[in-house]
Amino acid sequence: MSNRLAATPNDLRAFWMPFTANRQFKQNPRMFVGAKDMHYTTAEGRKVLDGTAGLWCVNAGHCRPLITEAIQKQAAEMDYAPAFQMGHPKAFELANRLVDISPDGMDHVMFTNSGSESVDTALKTAIAYHRVRGEGQRFRLIGRERGYHGVNFGGISVGGIVANRKMFGTLLTGVDHMPHTHLPGKNAFTRGEPEHGMELADELERIVTLHDASTIAAVIVEPVAGSTGVLIPPKGYLQRLREICDKHGILLIFDEVITGYGRMGTNFAADYFGVTPDIITTAKGLTNGVIPMGAVFVKNEIHDAFMQGPEHMIEFFHGYTYSGNPIASAAAIATLDTYKEEGLFERVAEIAPYWEDALHSLKDAPHVIDIRNIGLIGAIELQPIAGNPTKRAFSAFVRAYEKGVLIRTTGDIIALSPPLIVEKDQIDEIIDTIRTVLGEVE
Ligand SMILES: Cc1ncc(COP(=O)(O)O)c(C=O)c1O
């Protein structure tokens, strides 16, 4: 094992890393030791431009002063308060700030510690909501192929990524899936929302007919599917899902763990697409990725349905030790302040056309078979090496890192989501580096 990393441990065996090729990594570690604004610093002292906002979470850029100070102050003032049957002001202040920016009629929020927990919280809320209204037979959950909803049992059950599901037995029962919306034959190289595929929403009607509407609790989708390679909803698709859910009394959940907090140039993708779901799950950009925290927004009718029975009784038997943790709450408030003071969501709307043109300039680069973009999100899909899927994109990822740009790959797709503070010359650097590495990889 290499011993060249002066600032890092020389024994990497103990940490079983998440979603990582552990053996490859430990032979040739890629170690970050510092970060500021748009850049990481590696253990060797090299700067790496962040083309992915960490993991789609560092929306305001790295080590931003307001957020750092808020965490330091809160850690010294009050580190922890019990989350159950006790409160502290910052969690309430944060909830108020959040419902100020949430879609109309979603005036209540629950806190979690991750996107996965937000998803499982949303699924449980949906099933329990029907039960408290006397429709306990509505237990089915409908997800979508190629959906990613985190890694807990609820999330992988409604999710549609085979590798994340196949190892884990029976998962939740009573789950069905709609088809994904990726139609490269018809929509390749579309800028923004694709023209074709709205009719795929009607597959929900088929599923409703199969199971009967009276057994279905909720449908969950990512408005823009991120982790399976940026699948942008066809024009009219989300509106159609909303209509079908309304017709059958089914709750619609938008998983906005990556699209929430400005990535689309709006507060939420719900605002961008003009479709209001019944529940929104968020995490990541809520605290700028700095402290683990998620938030689940629910429509008022859902919240109100639980507020019954004797007043000394707990209304919803769900929550986490760290729900609304003081330091996470302080970090989130400072994050919202940073977004607002710097007008970062508006900035996305301004820079998105430049981003789009830059991405699509790669159309003639080697191996490229599709390019997709929306907001400050982009994907470049590569022709897989025959018999060796994912290898080409992984090689591109490693080479881009060596050349000073962090990109992310999923399958043979390069997914990009820089911090919302990205400058035009940094967009150029990301695109130029990708062009170079695509010329080099097998
Ligand atoms: C749409 C979506 N939902 C849920 C998650 C899970 O979030 P976490 O990794 O914080 O559990 C992710 C993470 O990428 C996501 O993209």
4: in domain:
no
In terms of domains, do 256 and 136 share one?
yes
21: in domain:
no
How far, in Å, is the centroid of ligand 1 from the Cα of 313? 32
pTM: 0.97
In terms of domains, do 335 and 318 share one?
yes
How far, in Å, is the centroid of ligand 1 from the Cα of 364? 32
Atom of ligand 1 nearest to the CA of 227: 16
Instruction: Give me the amino acid identity at 123.
Output: L
pLDDT, tens digit, for every residue of 361-419? 999 999 999 999 999 999 999 999 999 999 999 999 999 999 999 999 999 999 999 99
- Kindly report the protein residue whose alpha carbon is nearest to atom 7 of ligand 1: 115
pLDDT, tens digit, for every residue of 282-331? 999 999 999 999 999 999 999 999 999 999 999 999 999 999 999 999 99
pLDDT, tens digit, for every residue of 168-185? 999 999 999 999 999 999
Answer whether residue 5 shows pLDDT above 50.
no
Atom of ligand 1 nearest to the CA of 116: 11
In terms of domains, do 217 and 158 share one?
yes
Q: Which of 271, 306, 341 is the last residue of a domain?
A: 341
In terms of domains, do 357 and 397 share one?
yes
Q: Which of 112, 156, 230, 284 to mutate to test the pocket of ligand 1 (most atoms within 8 A of CB)?
A: 284
State how far the Cα of 320 lies from the Cα of 73, in Å rounded to an integer: 23
In terms of domains, do 336 and 354 share one?
no
Q: Which residues line ligand 1 (CB under 6 A)?
A: 114-116, 119, 148-150, 222, 226-227, 255, 257-258, 283
Closest residue by Cα to residue 255 from 351, 160, 338: 160
- Reported as a pLDDT band with limits 50, 70 and 90, residue 9 is confident
13: in domain:
no
State how far the Cα of 230 lies from the Cα of 212, in Å rounded to an integer: 31
Tally of domains in the chain: 2
2: in domain:
no
Closest residue by Cα to residue 197 from 207, 208, 183: 183
20: in domain:
no
- Kindly report the protein residue whose alpha carbon is nearest to atom 3 of ligand 1: 149
In terms of domains, do 134 and 281 share one?
yes
In terms of domains, do 91 and 233 share one?
yes
431: in domain:
yes
Atom of ligand 1 nearest to the CA of 294: 10
Full domain range(s) for residue 391:
31-60+344-440
Answer whether residue 217 shows pLDDT above 70.
yes
In terms of domains, do 217 and 257 share one?
yes
In terms of domains, do 89 and 158 share one?
yes
- Reported as a pLDDT band with limits 50, 70 and 90, residue 10 is confident
Q: Which of 341, 366, 401 is the last residue of a domain?
A: 341
User: pLDDT averaged over the chain?
Assistant: 97
Q: Look up the CATH number of the domain holding residue 313.
A: 3.40.640.10
Under 8 Å between Cβ of 375 and 354:
no
How far, in Å, is the centroid of ligand 1 from the Cα of 230? 14
Atom of ligand 1 nearest to the CA of 281: 3
3: in domain:
no
Q: Which of 341, 359, 379 is the last residue of a domain?
A: 341
317: in domain:
yes
Answer whether residue 44 shows pLDDT above 70.
yes
How far, in Å, is the centroid of ligand 1 from the Cα of 240? 25
Q: Look up the CATH number of the domain holding residue 382.
A: 3.90.1150.10
Under 8 Å between Cβ of 343 and 95:
no
State residue 221's pLDDT score. 98
How far, in Å, is the centroid of ligand 1 from the Cα of 115? 4
In terms of domains, do 121 and 241 share one?
yes
In terms of domains, do 38 and 122 share one?
no
pLDDT, tens digit, for every residue of 127-161? 999 999 999 999 999 999 999 999 999 999 999 99
In terms of domains, do 270 and 294 share one?
yes
Under 8 Å between Cβ of 421 and 342:
yes
- CB atoms under 10 Å from CB of 170, counted, come to 7
